[in-house]
Each structure stands twice: as structure tokens, then as C-alpha cells.
Amino acid sequence: MTKLINGKEISAAIRAEIRQEVASLPLRPGLAVVLVGSDPASQVYVRNKNRACEEVGIYSEMYTLPEETTQEQLLSLIDQLNESPLVHGILVQLPLPKHLNEEEVILRINPSKDVDAFHPANVGKIMIGNYDFLPCTPAGVMELLAYSGIDPAGKECVVLGRSNIVGKPQAMLLLHANATVTICHSRTANLAEVCRRADILVSAVGRAGFVTADMVKDGAIVIDVGINRDENGKLCGDVAFDEVAPKTSYITPVPGGVGPMTITMLLKNTITAAKRAAGLEVHK
């Protein structure tokens, strides 16, 4: 029997707890979200992030900058946000327009406000297993597994994709949870065969219909991180859901799976940043 992992419901439960925690704090956590350019998908993500902040009582500032923004202008906004006492978390939506240097932008964010956990200082901490900030999407996946009563310890986990945002940190989190982890990518030989070994398959490739039934073992758990559009413009994940779902024990839908969890983890990180700024204790 296939069970659908309902990220919307799990996310709503966690956000209710977050709302209570925010109300109990002696300061109002604040998040600044920066969007450069007019990529429609990024616009939707950024709007959802701001809406989620409102929902739980987190103060938010949104900066929508034109496509032709210069590197200097963007860095100067980050400097200003690094200094702002109202802002505890800074998020610059990626990808940035081609003429901007993403690495330099990430490096400019004060690591103590880096709620995406993209700064090398935070990436290094994730590698060690000492999390100042959770990598949002991978941490969301771990929460979905935990809420579904799935313990990755001792399981074969295959991560499809090696991005800095998802694939690499996802592998680390699964490893820290005592899984046996394989990372696959565009140059992996015998991809379907490797994927068929997975007790837990996490796909973060960004291609509609990429994961097909022949890549999935009977009874596997399939987590779909992809957010794509199909040929009709409909939102879909990486997994060919209709053919794969019947083979699985658990599967996440798109939309309503991992997506809402990413934002929920961002809210958690913003609270963590605010607590640290106020010298309050943070439970890791």
C-alpha cells in the first residue's frame, strides 16, 4: 500500500508550533528577502516566503530589484541588511541574473544571518554535523521522513543531483542520520541500476518525468524535490508519479510535498538567528 506523505499538512502542524514560539519570544524575528530580476518561478517563491512569515508573526522585508541591478548595488543592500537590527535573516533568491557573481553575494551575507545556510562557514558546519542553520530543503525532507516514522539509519539512500542547495547537503543530513548514501549525477553510469538499490530515493534533478518506474525498487520510499512544469505548464516534480507511485511504500506529491517544508525550515532558521542575536539559548 502506497502512503502519500502530505507536506502541506505536516508543514501546517510545524508552522502552528512556530507561531506559538514566535509569540513567546521577547523580540520579533525578522527576515529580509531579496529578489533580483523577474523570473516568474522566483517571484512565486519569494511571495510564498513573505506570506509564510506573516502567517507566523515573523517581520519581513521584501526587496524586488530590477534585472539590471549591479553587483555593487546588491552588495551595498546586503551590507545595509547585515547592519539592520530588525533583520535577523537575509535570503537572496537564487539563481541571480547571469551578470551577477553569486559566490561573492553569498560571501557578503553575515554568516549569523545566513538563514539559507549557503555561506561556506555554514556549509562547513553542516559537513561537520554542527548545524548553526539547517539547509532548508534537505532539512524539510528529513522532517517529512521523521513525521512519517521513517528512520534512515542503515538504509540505502540514493540522492539524485549534486547541487550545493539540495544534493550535497541532503547527502550529509542522511549520512548524519546513519544512512548509507550514494549521490548520483549526470555522469553516473548505470543510473537506473544504482537507483534501484535505494530504500529511500531523493530526486533533486529539476527535470519533469526523470524518475521512471524502472528506477525504483518495490516498496521504496520516494521523495521528490523537483519543481518543474510539464508540457501543459502544470506544476510537477522529477518523478513520473502515476507509474512510480504504485511501486512505492511512501511518496511525496508535487505540489504539496517538499515545497512547503522548505519554507517552514526557513522560518525555523529565522527564529534561530533572532534568538542568537538576543543571546537566547538555541536548541540544536
Site of interaction with ligand GUN (CB under 6 A): 91-94, 116, 136-137, 165, 262
What is residue 229's three-state secondary structure?
A: strand
Q: Considering the complex, what minimum distance in angstroms separates the CB of residue 33 from ligand GUN?
A: 8
Q: Considering the complex, what minimum distance in angstroms separates the CB of residue 263 from ligand GUN?
A: 9
Query: Which lies closer to ligand GUN via its Cβ, residue 114 or residue 156?
Result: 114
Query: Which lies closer to ligand GUN via its Cβ, residue 105 or residue 145?
Result: 105
Query: Which lies closer to ligand GUN via its Cβ, residue 18 or residue 198?
Result: 18
Query: Which lies closer to ligand GUN via its Cβ, residue 63 or residue 250?
Result: 63
**Nearest-angstrom CA–CA distance, 89 and 82:** 9
Query: Which lies closer to ligand GUN via its Cβ, residue 166 or residue 215?
Result: 166
The residues, any chain, with a CB within 8 Å of residue 232's CB and separated by 6 or more, are: none
CB 196 within 8 A of CB 217: yes
79 is catalytic: no
93 is catalytic: yes
CB 140 within 8 A of CB 225: no
Quick count: other Cβ atoms within 10 Å of Cβ 200? 21
Nearest residue to ligand GUN, by Cβ distance, number only? 94
**Nearest-angstrom CA–CA distance, 85 and 63:** 17
Q: Considering the complex, what minimum distance in angstroms separates the CB of residue 214 from ligand GUN?
A: 29
The residues, any chain, with a CB within 8 Å of residue 193's CB and separated by 6 or more, are: none
114 is catalytic: no
Residue tagged active-site, from 3, 20, 80, 116: 116
**Letter string b/e over residues 60-98, b meaning 16 or more CB atoms within 10 A of that residue's CB:** bbebebeeebeeeebbebbeebeeeeebbbbbbbeebbe
What is residue 275's three-state secondary structure?
A: helix
Q: Considering the complex, what minimum distance in angstroms separates the CB of residue 34 from ligand GUN?
A: 9
Distances (CA, A) of 209 to 153, 179, 227: 29, 26, 11
Q: Considering the complex, what minimum distance in angstroms separates the CB of residue 265 from ligand GUN?
A: 9
Active site residues: 49, 93, 116
